[in-house]
Amino acid sequence: MSLSSSLLFIYPYNIIGKSIAVDYYFNYIMGSRKKYHINFLPSGKNIEVSKNHNLRQSILDCGLEIESSCGGVGTCGRCVVQVKKGRVDTKETRFLSPNEQKKGFVLSCLSRVIDDIEVYIPEQKKVRAIIDKGKLAEGSKVYAGVSSQEQEKPEVEPWVKKFTVEVKKPSLSYGTSDLFRFKKAVREKLGIEEVTVPIDVLKKLPTELRKNDWEATAVIESNKNVIIDIYSQKRPNRLYGLALDIGTTTLVMYLVDLEDGKILGSESEYNPQIRFGEDIINRIVYANREGGLKKLKEVVTDSVNNLIWRLLLVSKVEPDDIVSVMVSGNSTMMHLFYEVCPKYIREEPYVTVANRFSDCKAQDIGLKHIRNAYTYSMQGVASYLGGDITSGILATGMNHEQDLALFIDLGTNGELVVGNCEWMMGCSCSAGPAFEGGGVKCGIRAIDGAIEKVYIDQDTFRCQVSTIGGSRARGICGSGLIDIIGEMYLKGVIDRKGRFHRDIGNRYLKEEDGNWRYTLIEASDSATGSEIYISEVDIDNLMRAKAAVYAGIKTLLEEVDLSVYDLEKVYIAGGLGKNLNIGNAIVIGMLPDINIDRYFFMGNTSITGAYISLLSGKKYRQSIALAEAITYMELSVNMKFMDRYVAGLFLPYTDLKDFPTVEELLFEMDDKRKK
Amino acid sequence: MSLSSSLLFIYPYNIIGKSIAVDYYFNYIMGSRKKYHINFLPSGKNIEVSKNHNLRQSILDCGLEIESSCGGVGTCGRCVVQVKKGRVDTKETRFLSPNEQKKGFVLSCLSRVIDDIEVYIPEQKKVRAIIDKGKLAEGSKVYAGVSSQEQEKPEVEPWVKKFTVEVKKPSLSYGTSDLFRFKKAVREKLGIEEVTVPIDVLKKLPTELRKNDWEATAVIESNKNVIIDIYSQKRPNRLYGLALDIGTTTLVMYLVDLEDGKILGSESEYNPQIRFGEDIINRIVYANREGGLKKLKEVVTDSVNNLIWRLLLVSKVEPDDIVSVMVSGNSTMMHLFYEVCPKYIREEPYVTVANRFSDCKAQDIGLKHIRNAYTYSMQGVASYLGGDITSGILATGMNHEQDLALFIDLGTNGELVVGNCEWMMGCSCSAGPAFEGGGVKCGIRAIDGAIEKVYIDQDTFRCQVSTIGGSRARGICGSGLIDIIGEMYLKGVIDRKGRFHRDIGNRYLKEEDGNWRYTLIEASDSATGSEIYISEVDIDNLMRAKAAVYAGIKTLLEEVDLSVYDLEKVYIAGGLGKNLNIGNAIVIGMLPDINIDRYFFMGNTSITGAYISLLSGKKYRQSIALAEAITYMELSVNMKFMDRYVAGLFLPYTDLKDFPTVEELLFEMDDKRKK
């Protein structure tokens, strides 16, 4: 608690005097009527708030974005802002140096408004409102050049399809009901014994059948044989579907032509739940609050409706012609999207309420615009191996191949599945937020200006970086971190434990309050005006993440008496994938030391799997069966995993025998240095 | 058009002058701002309306009831009122004598308000707001003493039922989803391979399963194996259902305990659609108007919700424990209840949109209070042989018996089904409204004060009547009419053509404007202060009705080479049934001249059948199959039917050989008169 607010509590009358005490009373007890004005820089947006309103909340209220993986409780240190004019009531935090505090930097979540203020939201901390679509589309492209049968030519036989039907005309001698004659025609056409015609379709039936002399087009949902629409033959139309990936960070939606599989449009935006907690654990915590689940459901539904609306606008597709939605996402995202309590996902024994949610009308779960559409969800395996992973398997096609393959989805959790067309086994290893730029002081997501590749000069230790989009550096993304650590290790900047060699004359190495850091970009050269560096704490975070992934891979393989050398293919999915330097990922001991040719980048496989399932009822059924057949290993209680995790807290690994190529490379580098 | 309004149209400026013309302009073109006050007698209720507001509409707007079988277009002549003070703009009508018009009597539907007025709504024309429940309950009692296996002990195995389930607790080594373990428990308990758990139930699943250590009660809909509710074992409860009969005139609802079949309460009220047309044809016409179908759906749904609410209030049953609703009614009523266009029912070739409406959640069709309930509808056969008739067959049990039986539902339409457990054939013969007191000047429904039985003194021709409830006579109900005509025929008051014998010294016979009538009750002795009589026009109406019924019976039987003497049982259902004098119904040639012991009164079989189907999924399935197996005969184009109909326009029938007992009786009566 800051000085000013402590004083208020300790000396309400005596020192501060009655007027302040009365003010205090009104503001705290009765609710303040006085409003303060906040001007946000550089956007110039402004807002009026009551006294003591939370500053982070004010930023959100104003429609601005602010990163905060802890959901606003002061533990992640990411919501830093600078108060340029006026003062706030703030709490002290270890995330800010005394020097920074002097300059007006505060954690917005720990600050309350007590004055008219001007607040600067630093550029590199702002979550960009619209993600770079080009990048995303490329990263999650369906025909991604991966040698998988799924992606070369999509199978088109969707769950929801239309057919023409000629209904016998009634007469005095054949006076059966419209429904009876319609069902008979369907039986003769499709061989389906009994279809269900819901009341809303029945209401249209008599008119539509008579419009074009008893010839009509019907739309059937063939899982439960429900007729979801009918219209006179005259109306020319195609049917469309939506594939939806609800990522913890990003929502992606495809608008798909259900007759030729063509993707007519794709839209994406950040998952707005981010403001309530950046990772799934914080969202579950928020969901448990009074009204929390409802709120999380609301905001994500609003965004999804927004995506639908944008796709409709751009494509000019008739809303009624969108007949199905396939939803993919991790278990927590799916629970939140269907407004089902996710609480038990994070309580031992970590179970979901459901791994797949019942088919339902899109409007029943709050989706707008598309009243005809049915919604399906991808089948998950367990709490931490969700429908997004099933989508991934489907996208790789490894469920059809004899080759032993490993599927890795690298995000906050590293999800792993190993197997082939005959068996599969999966697990999830909590990697922490490092891969997504979290827990790292200069970490950012893989957006324009993120450092993704680094070259260190062997002699001067000066860094040359390349950034996403080629612009000035703003920070380091997950794949950049992996690259940097690999490069630092190879160039002798850090040792096997991830500590800086302090005796090699590296002038980019600095110490402040006992913390060592290595400057990659000087403040004057960065896009943000701040220095971009990596500290030992940052390295530690990444070491833990990479150790978890490798320990997971090893544990999974050894459980079935296999080794990494048996792997014929390794599929890498997730945001990290596209920019990842596989070589350096091996150097740091995150990925197995096998031939690089065996690695395949897959991009966003969650949306790809949803797309495949949307297009083919058969594939969707297969995906359900395959998810049900995956053996899940719970690592959180696995002692072998823990042992391997600890062994992984070295570069590349305790036992160098696991990484022969790296060992060789290190010898070479060492030789070079000695020369 | 009345004088005053014609003047307005013909001489807007010249004679009436500018001020009236301006007034006219504002009222007709701009909408009137001037309000007129109407005081209704004897209720004392009053209302303010705009100039030119329809008087009948004003009565309805005021919440009062007014009979009107034509829906307010001036063709039924039943909405007579007396303007006591002030004046109205009315049209001339053949339904009122010049003398009556002089006294201020007008048809309210043809009158517009142009003054402050006082209007008397004659007692005998008012539809009683609440039907006599005692009578109804008696008439539609389930254990009605009829020798039918259905009614002695109802079979209880409802479509929707509950069961307890013990779900395996999750553990780290058994970390499947709640849903998976729940489905597994259901599979083991009920042997159902796959149940559907909709999202709203899924939302409750985790909490309810954990409340009582993984023991819970689930409610399953066993047609489509849907779990419709789940709760922790601790909550003691039974399940309930609603049987609903949507009659053209009356709505009846039973609240039923689904575990022992006990009827916990029954409620009924007039079908509020009456105000838009008293019979189905007029309702279909109204439904075709802009917004008409929606309006008809709305008012009936409101009334049904009202019945539900009243049953909930009285019984103290928890709304959530009501899990199913079984709806019965004729085809038009069902179309209107499900808001499906009934237009084609009255257009050749007279087809329904559907003979049964898809199962759906009660809330999907606007039912309130009972969010868990599923709604089912009885399967009908054709446009004029609806689910109410299937209910009737089920109620009689004739579908299980070898005996050849005839089922007759007597209302506006006479619906007939003949057959036994092996075959069935049915038809509908439009009997007109005579059986329900319509088309007859002193006709009323079967309410208190309705004449149901008549005795004519052979010498004086004076009538002695008995009325429903024993009170003073108000009018003649359908069964009373049949009795009167039979009695008049036997006592020589009318001849075989239904004409009065004018030469027998009958001093109760009067002539006015060429119309002859026979006074049953003098004005001074009636409850309404008006004379109660029967005219030759009235007799004609009833002759047509009875001729249609008998022609239907004969045509149906002869189609399968049977005669009325083959009938072993005749079941009579419908409002007419309870008070019907079978003897006189035979005398007038409406019912076959067979032993009276073969006749059985069944009361409201529509609600009984709904009740039986509600209680037993098996019975419900049987009823669907039996309805589908009934051969429907369309009589409107059947020449043999037309011949027999014409032959039936005599008492009892052209050919007396069809009615040997009646012939004998007539000889006896003739002998008696001669002595």
How many other C-beta atoms are found inside a 10 Å radius of the C-beta of residue B578? Answer: 22
CA distance B21 to chain A (A): 45
Residue A116 CB burial class (10 angstroms; 0-12, 13-18, ≥19)? middle
Instruction: Return the pLDDT at B20.
Output: 38
Mutate to test the interface with A, among B334, B358, B390 (most CBs of A within 10 A): B358
CA distance A663 to chain B (A): 39
For chain A, the residue count is 675
Superfamily holding B32-125: Beta-grasp domain (3.10.20.30)
CA distances from A402 to A153, A419, A571, B257, B533 (A): 20, 9, 15, 59, 95
Q: What is the mean predicted confidence (pLDDT) over B493-517? A: 92
Is B324 within 8 Å of B360 (Cβ atoms)? no
Q: What is the mean predicted confidence (pLDDT) over B461-477? A: 90
Say which residue the tokens 């004019």 belong to.
A85
CB pairs under 8 A between A and B: 129
**Per-residue pLDDT tens over the stretch B115-174:** 999 998 876 333 222 222 222 222 223 333 333 444 456 789 998 999 999 999 999 888
Closest residue to B202, CB basis, from A172, A178, A354 = A354
Closest residue to B172, CB basis, from A174, A197, A348 = A348
Instruction: Give CATH 3.10.20.30 domain extents, chain A.
Output: 32-125
Instruction: Return the pLDDT at A387.
Output: 97
Which chain B residues have any C-beta within 8 angstroms of a chain A C-beta?
170-172, 174-180, 196-199, 202-203, 205-207, 338-341, 343-344, 348-358, 360, 364-365, 382-383, 632, 634, 637
**Partners of residue B344 in chain A, C-beta under 8 Å:** 178, 206
The angle formed by the CA atoms of residues B604, B610 and B615, to the nearest 5 degrees, is: 130
Is A386 within 8 Å of A326 (Cβ atoms)? no
User: Which amino acid, residue A464?
Assistant: Q
Q: Domain B128-158+239-430+567-637, what architecture? A: 2-Layer Sandwich (3.30)
The structure's pTM equals 0.75
Least confident of A432-441, B1-10, B582-591: B1-10
Is B495 within 8 Å of B501 (Cβ atoms)? yes
Rounded-to-integer distance, Cα B538 and Cα B488, Å:
13
**Per-residue pLDDT tens over the stretch A95-140:** 777 777 888 889 898 999 999 999 988 763 332 222 222 222 232 3
Instruction: Return the pLDDT at A52.
Output: 87
User: Which is higher by pLDDT, A271 or B78?
Assistant: A271
Full DSSP string of A563-593: -GGG-SEEEEESTTGGG--HHHHHHTTSS-S
Give the three-state DSSP class for A107: strand
pLDDT band at B75; cut points 50, 70, 90: low
pLDDT band at B235; cut points 50, 70, 90: low
Does an H or E element contain A332, and which? helix A331-337
Instruction: Return the pLDDT at A59.
Output: 87
Look at residue B554 and tell me whether its pLDDT is greater than 60. yes
**Per-residue pLDDT tens over the stretch A427-472:** 999 877 777 777 788 988 778 899 988 889 888 999 999 888 888 9
The CATH number fitting domain B160-232, selected from 3.40.50.2020, 2.40.110.10, 3.10.20.880, 2.60.220.30: 3.10.20.880
CA distances from A392 to A605, B512, B560 (A): 5, 92, 67
**Partners of residue A344 in chain B, C-beta under 8 Å:** 178, 206
Rounded-to-integer distance, Cα B665 and Cα A572, Å:
100
Look at residue A148 and tell me whether its pLDDT is greater than 50. no
pLDDT band at A601; cut points 50, 70, 90: confident
pLDDT over 90 percentage in chain A: 60
pLDDT band at A183; cut points 50, 70, 90: very high
Look at residue B87 and tell me whether its pLDDT is greater than 50. yes
pLDDT band at B602; cut points 50, 70, 90: confident
**Per-residue pLDDT tens over the stretch A22-68:** 343 334 434 445 789 999 988 888 888 888 888 988 887 777 777 76
User: Which is higher by pLDDT, A410 or B286?
Assistant: B286
Instruction: Give CATH 3.10.20.880 domain extents, chain B.
Output: 160-232
Instruction: Return the pLDDT at B277.
Output: 87
Look at residue A74 and tell me whether its pLDDT is greater than 80. no
Is B518 within 8 Å of B534 (Cβ atoms)? yes
**Residue environment code for A217-239, b if the CB has 16+ CB neighbours within 10 A, otherwise e:** bbbbbeeeebbbbbbbbeeeeeb
Give the three-state DSSP class for B272: helix
User: Which amino acid, residue B318?
Assistant: E
Instruction: Return the pLDDT at A142.
Output: 31
Rounded-to-integer distance, Cα A313 and Cα A569, Å:
41
- Average pLDDT value over all residues in chain A: 85
Give the three-state DSSP class for B49: strand
pLDDT band at B80; cut points 50, 70, 90: confident
Contact B198 A352 (CB under 8 A): no
pLDDT band at A578; cut points 50, 70, 90: low
pLDDT over 90 percentage in chain B: 60
Q: What is the mean predicted confidence (pLDDT) over B658-675? A: 85
pLDDT band at B71; cut points 50, 70, 90: low
> How many Å separate Cα B406 from the centre of its chain?
21
Which is it for the CA torsion B23, B27, B31, B32, positive or negative? positive
pLDDT band at A86; cut points 50, 70, 90: very high
Nearest Cα residue in chain B from A381 = B176
Least confident of A485-489, A662-666, B573-577, B632-636: B573-577
Rounded-to-integer distance, Cα A111 and Cα A49, Å:
13
Q: What is the mean predicted confidence (pLDDT) over B592-612? A: 91
Look at residue A15 and tell me whether its pLDDT is greater than 90. no
Contact B355 A179 (CB under 8 A): yes
**Per-residue pLDDT tens over the stretch B252-310:** 999 999 999 999 999 999 899 999 988 899 999 999 999 999 999 999 999 999 999 99
Residues 6+ apart with CB under 8 A from B109: B54, B55, B56, B68, B70, B72, B73, B74, B79
Look at residue A238 and tell me whether its pLDDT is greater than 80. yes
pLDDT band at B69; cut points 50, 70, 90: low
Is B253 within 8 Å of B326 (Cβ atoms)? no
Q: DSSP E strands: which ranges in A369-508? A: 374-377, 405-410, 413-419, 424-430, 450-456, 463-467, 475-476
Nearest Cα residue in chain A from B198 = A358
How many other C-beta atoms are found inside a 10 Å radius of the C-beta of residue B402? Answer: 10
**Per-residue pLDDT tens over the stretch B204-219:** 999 999 999 999 999 9
User: Which is higher by pLDDT, B146 or B604?
Assistant: B604
pLDDT over 70 percentage in chain B: 88
CA nearest neighbour of B186 among B218, B213, B161, B212: B218
Which chain A residues have any C-beta within 8 angstroms of a chain B C-beta?
170-172, 174-180, 196-199, 202-203, 205-207, 338-341, 343-344, 348-355, 357-358, 360, 364-365, 382-383, 632, 634, 637
pLDDT band at B24; cut points 50, 70, 90: very low
How many other C-beta atoms are found inside a 10 Å radius of the C-beta of residue A161? Answer: 19
The token duo for A375 is 């919604």
What class, spelled out in words, does domain A397-432+550-673 have in CATH?
A: alpha beta
CA distances from A401 to A409, A419, A629, B13, B629 (A): 19, 9, 16, 94, 54
Nearest Cα residue in chain A from B632 = A175
Look at residue B544 and tell me whether its pLDDT is greater than 80. yes
Closest residue to A198, CB basis, from B175, B349, B360 = B360
The token duo for B94 is 């053949």
Instruction: Give CATH 3.30.420.40 domain extents, chain A.
Output: 397-432+550-673
Mutate to test the interface with B, among A208, A327, A358, A376 (most CBs of B within 10 A): A358
Question: Which stretches of B512-633 are DSSP H helices?
Answer: 536-559, 582-587, 605-615, 617-629
Instruction: Return the pLDDT at B236.
Output: 66
**CA-based max dimension of chain A:** 103
Instruction: Return the pLDDT at A436.
Output: 73
How many other C-beta atoms are found inside a 10 Å radius of the C-beta of residue B61? Answer: 14
Question: Which stretches of B212-357 are DSSP H helices?
Answer: 280-287, 292-315, 331-337
CA distances from B376 to A103, B225, B242, B368 (A): 72, 14, 10, 16
pLDDT band at B68; cut points 50, 70, 90: low
User: Which is higher by pLDDT, B341 or B438?
Assistant: B341
